[in-house]
Structure formats: C-alpha cells, structure tokens
Structure 1
Amino acid sequence: MSWALALYSALTWAGQPLLRHKLRQRAQAEPGYGLKVEERFGHYEPESLGRDGAGRWIWIHAVSLGETRAAAILIDALRAQWPDMRLLLTHGTATGRAEGARLLRHGDLQVWLPWDTRAAVERFVQQFRPAVGLLMETEVWPNLIAACRAHGIPLALANARLNAHSLDKALKFPALSMPAYQSLAAVWAQTQGDARRLRALAAPVRAVLGNLKFDVLPDAGQLAQGAQWRQRSARPVVMLASSREGEEELFIAALRRLGEKALKVQWLVVPRHPQRFESVALALQAAGLRVSRRSEWLGAPPRAQAQAGEECLWLGDSLGEMPMYYAMADAALLGGSFAPLGGQNLIEAAACGCPMLVGPSTFNFAEAAELACAAGAAHRVADLDAGLQAALALVHDVPARTAAVAHCLEFAQAHRGAARATAQAVDELLRSSRR
C-alpha cells in the first residue's frame, strides 16, 4: 500500500464518528438517512444477505437521484441483454435510494455503499462478490477500487464525466488519485473532453459513448398532466428549475427589478433538494410573495391564482415530477448556473421540449450546455436579470418559442444511444475478465 492510500485510509477511519453525526442530523429532515445506518459501515444483515448471488451480481453504484435516473435506462438495456440478471444497486443519498427502489425486481438487492474505509469495503466485497461493478459518472473511491482489484472484480466508471475543476483538485493529490483511476478496469466517457481529462489521471478510457441521460424518456403521463395544468394559467409559465442555495435570493431581487413586467408571466420555482423546500417557501414569503405549493394543490394549481394582475408564485415542492414541471413551463432558467455551482443537467428539459436559459456557471455539464446552445435548445445569459428578460421575450414570441421547442426535441433525439452501447461494453468487459 502506498503512503498516500495509507494516509487516506487513516483519515476515512478517523472520520467515521463525524459521518454518524452527519447522518443523524440529515435524518431529522430526511428520514431516509436514518435507514440501515450500519450498512454505511459495511455491516449487512442477516449474515447471509446477498450470498446466493455471489459471483453473479451486476452491481451498479448510483450515488444520488440524477445518477439513479441515468442508471435506470442502463439497467433496462442490461436486462434486455441478460433477462435473468441479478442487480445489486447501491447509493449514497436518501433520494437516490428512494428512486432506486422503483428499479428492483424479484431477486434484486439494494443497500448503501459503505464509507470508504478499508475494513468496510472489504466486508462489502466479501459479502456480495459481484461479477462486475459499475460506478456511475464520478464516484471514484480509492479503497473500494483497490479492494475490487485485489479480489479480481472488474470495476468500471460508466457515463463518466470529469470537469476541469475536479481535474485540478485531483491533480493536487496525484499519489492518491492517479492510482485509483488507473486501477479501474474500464472507463466509458460521456464526451471527448471528459475522456481527455480522465486520461490525464491515467484512467483507462476505452470509449466515448455519450450521456445515458439522453436515453431517458420523460414519463408520458407526467407530460400530459403538466400540459393540462399549464392551461390553468392565463399567462405563460416560466420556471426556475432545480434551483440551488442562494439562487432564490438572486431570483427575488431580479424579479423586483422587473417591476410590472413580472406580472406578465406565472413564475414557478422548483428547488433541487427536498430538504430546502420549507426554507425556500419561507424565503419567498418573507419577500412578500404569495406562494402556492404543489404539495397543497388539490388536484391542480388553483385557477384563481393564475389570473393576470395577481402576483402569486408556484412552488414545486415534490420529488420525481420534473417532467410534469417542464411540461408546465413555456421556458425555464437552469438552476445551479446562476450561482458559481456548475449548473444542473439540462438534458431532461430538452427531452421534455422546454427551452432553457442558462447562466454563466455550467462547468459540471460544460459540453452538454454548449451543444444545447449551439442547437438552439438553450440560450446563455449573463445573469438572472438577463435570464428573466430573455425568458419574458421568448414566451411572448410564439414563432421563436415554437422553434426553440423543436430544437429541444431534435437535440435530445440526436444524442441517444449511450445505453445500448454501454450495455455492450459491459458484456465485453465481463467476457474479457473471464478469459
């Protein structure tokens, strides 16, 4: 073991009490974090759990909600390839685990991925002994990768992405990061830029297969529901989609600067994280806005609150309904891009036919954002003031918005196919590992 991995292992071991404290705190707002806490430390019960699938598990780690939704389309492609597949699904967040539960079939298993101590990951690997492991997008854990390599378990990074900021951070600790990336059995990158940055860390990039999220088809029922609810507003609907901390305050200030123009649309705010629903509602109300919450709608948004001249904001305080919100919106502002947070994924918006206004910070999805802007599915603006002005102009220009919707759907369609390609790559990895 290298000195860097030994030091990292000592720090992760020492950090376990802090992790337990953090989980207790998070569980107060999100009870899912209090579920089966000992799994976080590599203790799975009963003792025999998962042993009947040893050597046969197709293990996928999807840390949070976005990764789990991307994993869903890959899981479908893998099941088409191996109808009798046994799925082992792991997560790191409560929202990811809740979403992942919907993907399970008889014989599948869902557990927490353990904290990256040597002992915990060793217990995990010994317990389940998967045939192959797939880490979704960015989840590179040095001890986990080392344990899988020691036990001869091929471990790949699927739908892999690495932005310039993350590369710079990893290069500050090359003695730890480079052996971890190098020890992966395969890496399948989303874009050529991701591939170039991953290779800088010695990652074994086998192919550039695109982004799995392009293959996720929006729920048709939610799209229909959103379109129906859109008709309850006498004004166009503009959404602040997947807003992050600090952006609601920026939005409120920009809204005030619009003055009477703000009454020309129905505003909808959908925060990214559920633990912030209550605080966002309070912040909006403290700013003097009347708020109608999705969780309080009795079947639909109240029609009376959508009449012209009445400033009432809709708050999307629900999980798993983004296709419905995008279908409700005539245009959307991309959360995470107006504060220096790197932006959120705009692929789902494009697939739903919702034109996006993106701010200056999109380093998490830089190439997808640039491609969307080039295709006319999105438009970049300098800040939220410019974003609100651009949204107002777009939703009141019927030909321009119609063209933007068409560009969104064409953009989403043009980049599909990553799921099938990744499933084939997994098959090839398994075959080569058994030779």
Structure 2
Amino acid sequence: MRSRSGRSSRLARWLYSLTITLLSPLIWWRVWREWAPTHRRRERLGFIQVSGSRPRLWLHAASVGEVVTATPLIRALLEDHPDHDLVITTMTATGAERVRQTFGDRVAHHFLPLDFPGSARRFVTRLNPRLAIIAETELWPNLLAACHRRNVPVVVANGRLSAGAFRLYQRFGALSRGMLETIAWIGAKSALDADRFVELGAPSARVAVTGALKFDLDVDEATRQASRQLRASWGPRPVWIAGSTHPGEEEQVLIAHGVLRRRFPDALLILVPRHPQRFDEVNAHCLEAGERVQRLSAGSALTASTTLLLGDTMGDLMKLYGCADVAFVGGSLTPVGGHNLLEPAALGVAVVSGPHLDNLREIADTLAQSDARVQVENGQALGETLVALLSDDARRHELGEAGRAVVAANRGALARTRAKIAALLNDS
C-alpha cells in the first residue's frame, strides 16, 4: 500500500511539473513585476548567491501579511540561534520590502524560486539550510521534494487551511499527500486546521495545535511612541482608520466617512490600501469624491481642513492603527477573506470589520465572542457604527480593552513553535 501510495505521489508530482513547465511563459510573465532592484530576476530560477560558512535557517513568508505574522518568530530565531544565518524568502516585492524595513541586514533575503524541478533543486542545494520553515501554508511540491532529498526538515508554522484551500488540496489528493508526508512538523492554528492537514495525508503524530502566531504580536515602544506623537500633532479631533482595503471597499469606506462627518465635521479618516500599486488610483478616487487628501509620504503636517490621510508608505500600518479611535480592517467588506484583526486589537483600538473573514475565522469568532469586534455589512452601516462608537467613549474603550485582553489571553503559539524548532535542530 505504501509503495503504491509513493508511486502515485511521484506520478502526481511529475504531471504537476509537466503542467507548470508548459505554462512557464504565463508564470514568468506573472512574476516578472514582482522584482526589486537589489535582486536579480535569475533568483526565480534558483540562481542565488550565498556567502559565509555558518549554518543557515530558511524561513519563507509569501507576502506582507505572512511577513507580519512571522515577525515575532523571526525575532525569536535571531535570538535563539545567533550562531546561524537566517535567510528569508518572499514571493512578492512588497514582502521583500517589508523584510528590509523590519530587519535590515540582520537577515538575508531572496525571492522564492518558481517551482520548476531544476529551480527548486538548485535553490535548496545552494542555500543548504539546516531547517526550512514555512509561515502559514504556501506549499510547493518540488521545493518540498528538494528539501526531502537533501534531508532538510521542513516545519509549517501557523499552519492554516481555509475551506477553499482544503477543497483545492483535496482535488489533488496524491500530490497533497506526497507533500505532507515529507513535512517534519506542522504547527496548526486551530483544531480544525489540524484535522484538515491530517485528512489530506499529514501523519497525525507530526501535527500539533499551537494556536495562531498572530496572537504573539509584539508592539514595540518605539511604534507606540510614534503613534502618540503623530496623533498629538493632529489635535483633539475624531480619528478612524480603514486598513488594508481592497477595490470595492474604498467606495464603502468613503460612504461611511460621509455619514460620520455629518455628525463630526472635523473627523479624520486614515485610509491605507492593501497594495502599494493602488496608492495613486485610490488617491485620485478620494479627490474625485471631494475629500481633502494629504498623503503620508509627503511628510508635511496635517491642516485642520484635511479630511483624509492616505497611508501610502510601507511598514507604517501599526503606527497608524495606534493613532486611531476606531479601526476598520479591510478585506472584509468584499469577499477577500479578511486581514489581521489583531493588529489594532493589540493596541486597544476598537475593531470593526465586514462579514467576509474566512481567512481568519477562528480569530474573528474569538474576538466576537469576547465582545471585541463589531461587524457591519456595508458602508452605511459602518458609518452609523462609527457615529455610535465615537459618541460613546465608555463603549469604545470597553471594545478596545476587550480586544487587548483577547490578544493577551491567547499568546503561546510562538513559545510552542520555537521549542519544536530547537528540538528539530538538536536532533539533526
């Protein structure tokens, strides 16, 4: 049985490799724009340059969201294993920029190679890590196979499988099983995620429920101080933020701001689109809507007539959340699946979201059950909620403190994950 399973997995991976090779022109076109001037595009084919003789740890975080989630783990790895070089890979250029801004030269960065068999083998051979860590769940069959061939243990940290992702992996059962059977350990966000990994073929002994790494979010004092200083410079006006918004959400956010300003004419909206390539587009849309916009990148002080601050810089979302009285977290009024609700919650800022939260359902439900999140269905309802919260200091404070308490009560995934990584390194 095991032999037949192995043959079917190898056949599935061969068919997968054939397919992506045939689609390579389209794949290459798609990633061509995900580039940074400090990196050669040849990295996408595994042609990386490594230096030094120290052992290496490799952590992959696909994009900005995964980098943010993995930041406490990255800091822990730097602290726990100072005798190792830490290499971070990302799939996107925005993720690369976030790594650079957060960690500078404390870590090395490369773009993840495309999952062609030769590219994967070349990358793993050249990097030669002692351990590979995948933040969340971006599993590439040929990269995992290359790690397995070179006896590189692979850890999935903060592992999650949404209902949609689970169904997709189920469709390719042999390929999924072949990948998951080679992984040394999976730290799942929830029991539901753990069950899904096991059902897809991960050995149950190698799957543990750790909780969500996002709860171990650490807001440093420098960020808190920057928030206080920036907010103080704006004077005593109501401030709310819409963070990580997507197309279709900005229109709803502007409707909400209009409702709020009818009650609080001096209210300020901080609007932070999720993707930097949309900054100019969103800025133009806000101006067309009649907002008096100032861009954060301009670096000048706000005037009393400014109605909207466009957060068009990278790496400043936490600082901007800390400036707000209420935070709406985007990706939730449109069917994107939601973004990190815990960032404003950790700061004690009242959290509001839309209903589309499939990417973080357990976290969203935990916040709602603790009366630490308000859900709205559209821009009009968001505006009415903002009016209610900004008219009731006690309720707003209660909501923010409940969110802070949820974050504090659910910490622990980081400690469990770093302990397992240490054990695997000791055994290798």
TM-score over 0.5 (shorter chain) = yes
Match of 2:48 in 1: 44
SS at match of 2:36: helix
Distance 1:424 1:129 in 2: 22
Contact 1:62 1:136 in 2 (8 A): yes
Distance 2:368 2:399 in 1: 10
Residues 1:418 and 1:16: Cα distance change in structure 2 (over 3 Å):
same
2:238 aligned residue (236, 239, 252): 236
Structure 2: 5+ residue stretches without partners: 1-8
- Under a length normalisation based on structure 2, what TM-score does the superposition of the two structures give? 0.91
Distance 1:403 1:156 in 2: 38
Distance 2:135 2:51 in 1: 21
Counterpart code for 2:19: L
Cα offset for 1:321?
0.9
Cα offset for 1:221?
2.5
Distance 1:152 1:172 in 2: 28
Residues 1:406 and 1:237: Cα distance change in structure 2 (over 3 Å):
same
Contact 1:211 1:418 in 2 (8 A): yes
Cα offset for 1:131?
0.8
Stretch deviating more after TM superposition (287-296 or 325-334) = 287-296
Q: Deviations over 1:353-374 (max 9, x none)?
A: 1111111100001000111112
Distance 1:88 1:258 in 2: 46
Match of 1:15 in 2: 23
Residues 1:142 and 1:408: Cα distance change in structure 2 (over 3 Å):
same
Match of 1:425 in 2: 420
Distance 1:246 1:257 in 2: 18
Contact 1:92 1:112 in 2 (8 A): yes
Stretch deviating more after TM superposition (275-284 or 91-100) = 91-100
Distance 1:238 1:171 in 2: 42
Residues 1:263 and 1:141: Cα distance change in structure 2 (over 3 Å):
same
Cα offset for 1:50?
4.2
Counterpart code for 2:231: R
SS at match of 1:97: helix
Distance 1:389 1:257 in 2: 7
Match of 1:309 in 2: none
SS at match of 2:122: helix
Match of 2:10 in 1: 2
Counterpart code for 1:342: G
Match of 2:218 in 1: 217
Counterpart code for 1:84: D
Aligned pairs, number:
416
Q: Deviations over 1:156-182 (max 9, x none)?
A: 111111111211122122122222122
SS at match of 2:200: coil
Match of 1:226 in 2: 227
Contact 2:39 2:110 in 1 (8 A): no
Distance 1:10 1:21 in 2: 18
Match of 2:6 in 1: none
- Correspondence 1:342-381 to 2 at 5 A: 342-381=337-376
Cα offset for 1:4?
2.0
Cα offset for 1:251?
2.5
Cα offset for 1:253?
4.1
2:148 equivalent to 1:146: no
Match of 1:317 in 2: 312
Q: Deviations over 1:253-300 (max 9, x none)?
A: 4555668246363222111111111111011112222211111232x3
Residues 1:377 and 1:43: Cα distance change in structure 2 (over 3 Å):
same
Distance 1:253 1:402 in 2: 25
Residues 1:275 and 1:33: Cα distance change in structure 2 (over 3 Å):
farther
Distance 2:251 2:43 in 1: 38
Contact 1:51 1:128 in 2 (8 A): no
SS at match of 1:110: strand
Distance 2:68 2:126 in 1: 26
Contact 2:240 2:326 in 1 (8 A): yes
Distance 2:175 2:297 in 1: 45
Match of 1:103 in 2: 103
Stretch deviating more after TM superposition (66-75 or 361-370) = 66-75
Cα offset for 1:238?
1.5
Match of 1:163 in 2: 162
Contact 1:133 1:156 in 2 (8 A): yes
Q: Deviations over 1:132-155 (max 9, x none)?
A: 100110111111111111221111
Counterpart code for 2:103: L
- Correspondence 1:33-432 to 2 at 5 A: 35-45=39-49, 49-50=50-51, 52-53=53-54, 56-101=55-100, 102-103=102-103, 108-204=107-203, 205-231=206-232, 232-256=234-258, 260-261=262-263, 263=265, 265-298=267-300, 300-302=301-303, 304-305=304-305, 312-432=307-427
Residues 1:164 and 1:268: Cα distance change in structure 2 (over 3 Å):
same
Residues 1:186 and 1:295: Cα distance change in structure 2 (over 3 Å):
same
Cα offset for 1:61?
0.9
SS at match of 1:200: helix
2:8 equivalent to 1:32: no
SS at match of 1:162: coil
CA RMSD of aligned residues (A): 2.2
Contact 2:243 2:274 in 1 (8 A): yes
Stretch deviating more after TM superposition (228-237 or 242-251) = 228-237
Stretch deviating more after TM superposition (150-159 or 373-382) = 373-382
Cα offset for 1:330?
0.5
Distance 1:239 1:276 in 2: 17
